[in-house]
Amino acid sequence: MPVVYILLDGAGYSFDIFIDNFRKKWQLQFEPHREEDSLGMIIDGRIVGCTIVPYPIVESALIKYARENMFWPEAEACVAKHKAHLKVAIAREGDPVAAHTLLSKVIYSLLQQRNALCVYLKPGLIEPSYYIKCAEELVKKKLPTELWVHINSTGSETGDSFSFNTVGMNKFGKKEFEIKNTKKNFIDAYYCLKEQIKATIENDIKK
């Protein structure tokens, strides 16, 4: 299970508010284990750890990913103003769909505080309002696979075609998807790939 980061505009963050929101929203039973800047929970046999790191993520690739974000123009400005971050991870994950479902529920509730700027799951950066909207699908027993698998896109040198590749299908035991030099409408091709990702994970398609 990869580590997920939530960028913050300051180090002030309340795990007490998170715990209250998390319990009310998802009705899960757990006993929190608190330290000054960290929180641990055991839920359905999985260990969830959250740590407040009181300084920005120092990673040159982070700015690159923000600049390449085609669906969120403010991503670079968001990254530039973050001053701290939360580090979130799951151990003993077992079934990857169940583990990602739990992870999304945790992140959903962590994002309910004002100083949460964005979610960073390499190489993607996700706006909080979009993450929350997608994670709400879990209430309807639907899977927010767009939060779990990132789609990279690149244009050709001539500008008349696009290529796409996924990052994250391997976490579900699947091969990564790739579309090379398609001349279809960009949005149509992108959303077609999104639906293929969702169908493959939801139905556990092997090929």
pLDDT of residue 70: 83
> For 135-166, what is each residue's pLDDT tens digit?
999 999 999 999 999 998 887 656 678 889 99
Q: 21: which 2 tokens?
A: 């929101």
pTM for the full predicted model: 0.92
Beta strands in the chain (DSSP E): 4-8, 33-35, 38-43, 46-53, 84-91, 116-121, 124-126, 150-155, 162-167, 178-182
Per-residue pLDDT, 157: 54
Give 52's strand partners: 86
Reported as a pLDDT band with limits 50, 70 and 90, residue 96 is very high
Average pLDDT over residues 26-51: 93
Of 3.40.50, 2.60.40, 3.30.1120, 3.30.310, which CATH number belongs to 4-139?
3.30.310
Residues 65-73, mean pLDDT to the nearest whole number: 89
* Structural domain spans, the chain: 4-139, 149-202
Q: Which of 48-52, 91-95, 101-105 has the lowest mean pLDDT?
A: 91-95
- What's the mean pLDDT when you consider all of the chain? 92
Torsion 144-136-103-9 (CA) sign: positive
